[in-house]
Every structure is written in structure tokens, then in C-alpha cells.
Amino acid sequence: MSITVVGSLAYDAVKTPFGQRERMLGGAATHFALAASFFDTVRPVGPVGGDFADADLEVLRTRGTVTDDVEVIADGKTFFWAGEYGWDLNSRETLDTQLNVFETFVPKLSPAAQACDVLFLANIQPELQAQILDAVDGPAFTALDSMNLWIDIARDALVGVIERVDCLILNDAELRQLTGKPNLVAAAREILGWGPTAVVAKQGEYGAALITAASFFALPAFPLETVVDPTGAGDTFAGGFVGSVAQHLAGGVTDEVLCRAMAYGTALASFNVEEFGTERVTRLTADEIHERVSALHGFGRFTLQTPVLTGDRS
Ligand code: AMP
């Protein structure tokens, strides 16, 4: 089994109320790969510039991620993103986005990347996501993430790729923006009508919700007292979610598989936000993940009774 992911491999400049980093390893595919590599072999596809440090390539290779499809464009510059968070860590301002080597990138997938069982189209130009979908051999499960920038400037292309995937993973505000529907459930149902069989609405510190034709499932974010930098939380969630699905493909992608995947996504994302960028997830252990998934399992428990309510008493 293996997972191919296309998305940004980046350097980020990030400022939060708790500190800042001028230039740290980031990118949607990077955060995704670090999380998904707990479950399966991951192959990121994408370009980096000659400025991309060997040490950062080593970080990407943590837990066996295969970097054969990371193309080094020696005279180019790595994708760069800068953002700032206020006290409400759920909202951030993008200060700068430089596509750099992604602007002219034409993907050439290795046979192993083409033969993936699972494909994740992390946040990047929808046209590039479509090229990767064309290039793979027919993975058993495909999922896609995007962001407001692409809804603003490339909506038609984005809708075109969403129609071709099994699962859409998007922030709740972006789901509303994409569909023009203010109600989250209505927005998700509209997207289910376009083709995907599952929609995951990421809700920052409030958790995430899964909507399929037959079910609705929501999990709170893991309750943390220290959140330092939410950058990459969504991609780390996606890595845990998609990785967990990849591990259970044999029995089909049932609602049970998807709900368990929500717990792994939630647990992984909770570690990501504890430190800047990739710092925490790089040294994370499987035991730590299991511990948080068990705790999440416990949070959902309450005893069902049929109480006598006021209206019944009259
Ligand atoms: P998240 O916090 O999960 O939304 O992901 C943040 C990561 O996405 C950062 O590491 C950025 O490098 C990357 N990113 C930000 N803007 C874009 C964009 N327009 N296209 C692709 N990746 C981006």
C-alpha cells in the first residue's frame, strides 16, 4: 500500500502571539507526509528550489517517506508563504504567497507514485491537482484539500477536480464560500451531489465534522492548554485521516473506517499545533498518538436514557 500526495513543499514565515519563525519548513504536502507516514509509505510529488536545505529533505524523509518525486529545480526558489495569527488562532492573515517553482512545474510521476493505492491532492493550484489525477493508475481512494485563494481565482478548475475525488476536506468557511450556502450541512450535501462520497469540514479549535450520504459525525479538537502555532494543522489532520483510511482499504471505505480516520486526524493535528511548523510532529511517537485517540474515544461516551421531559409531564 502507498500514498501519493501533491501539494506545496515550502518555507514559511509565521508570527503568532507566542513567537515567530522567519523561515521554517512548511507546505501542505510536508505536513501531510509527516502525519501520513505513521500509516503507510508516502510519496510527495512537487518541486523545491536550489535553496531547499538537505536537512529539510531529511525531515521530509522522517518515517520512510520516499522523496524520489520531489524535483529539485537548482536555479529556482522554493514556494514561500507568510502568515500572521492574532489572539484568535482560528483566523489568520496571509501576508505573502510566492508560488516560485510551482508556477511552471509540470509533474512527472515515477511508476511507484502512479501506482499508489491512495491519492491526496493537498492544497495547490487546482490545474496541478487535475494533472496528478490524470497521471495516477486509479487509486482506491482519493481526497482533496484546497483554500480560499483557489476558490477566488480558479473556482471552475477546482470544482472540476472535486467532481473526480472520493472525499473533500475543507475548512467550514471555505465550504460555505465554495457553495454559496451559509449552512454547513446544506453546503456539504451540495458537494456530495457533485461526486464525492464524503465531505470533511475542518473547524479549527472546534474540531471537524464528517458528512456522508448516510451519516453525520463530529469530533471536538483535542482539548489543549497550549497552542503555539496552528500552521499546518489542517494538512496534519488530513495526513492522519487519509493515512488511517489507507490502512483499512481492504474492507472498503465504510462510515466506520471514516469515523476512525477522523479520530486519527484529530489526534495528529493536536500535536502539530503544540509547537511551530513541523517541530512537534517530526519527533512524535506512535504511542503518543494512540494515547490521544483513546482519550478522544472516551470523550464521546455518555449513557443513553429516555428522560421524562417537561412536555411529557403535562
Ligand atoms: P494549513 O495551516 O493546514 O492551512 O497549511 C498551511 C501550509 O500551507 C503552510 O505550510 C503553507 O506553506 C501552505 N500554503 C499556504 N498557502 C498556500 C497556497 N496558496 N498554496 C499551497 N500551499 C499553501
pLDDT in tens, 5-25: 999 999 999 999 999 999 999
| Stretch (H or E) spanning 71 | strand 70-73
- The grid coordinates of residue 153 equal 481565482
Closest CA to 203 of 211, 194, 192, 191: 211
What are the residues facing 49 on neighbouring strands? 73
Inter-axis angle of helices 172-179 and 184-194, nearest 10: 60
- Cell 491532492, residue? 121
Q: Give tens-digit pLDDT for 37-69.
A: 999 999 999 999 999 999 999 999 999 999 999
Q: Find the residues whose C-beta lies inside 6 A of ligand 1.
A: 8, 10, 12, 26-28, 81, 97, 123-124, 147, 149, 231-235
The answer to whether residue 314 scores a pLDDT higher than 80 is no
Distance separating the N- and C-terminal Cα atoms of the chain: 60
Task: Measure 251 CA to ligand 1 centroid, in angstroms.
Answer: 33
| Mutate which of 16, 105, 231, 281 for ligand 1 pocket (most atoms within 8 A of beta carbon) | 231
Task: Measure 81 CA to ligand 1 centroid, in angstroms.
Answer: 7
The answer to whether residue 212 scores a pLDDT higher than 80 is yes
| Rounded to 5°, angle at Cα 271 from 265 and 276 | 125
Mean pLDDT for the chain? 95
- Cell 524520489, residue? 68
Nearby residues of 78 by Cβ (< 8 Å), 6 or more positions away: 9, 10, 11, 48, 49, 51, 52, 100, 101
Decide: helix, strand or coil at residue 175.
helix
- DSSP code per residue over 89-135: TT-EEEEEEE-GGGSS------HHHHT-SEEEE-SS-HHHHHHHHHH
Decide: helix, strand or coil at residue 198.
strand
Distances (CA, A) of 186 to 31, 190, 191: 30, 6, 9
Q: Give tens-digit pLDDT for 216-257.
A: 999 999 999 999 999 999 999 999 999 999 999 999 999 999
Q: How confident is the model at residue 201 (pLDDT cuts 50, 70, 90)?
A: very high
Task: Measure 65 CA to ligand 1 centroid, in angstroms.
Answer: 20
Over its C-alpha atoms, the chain yields an Rg (Å, rounded) of 19
**CATH number for region 2-312:** 3.40.1190.20
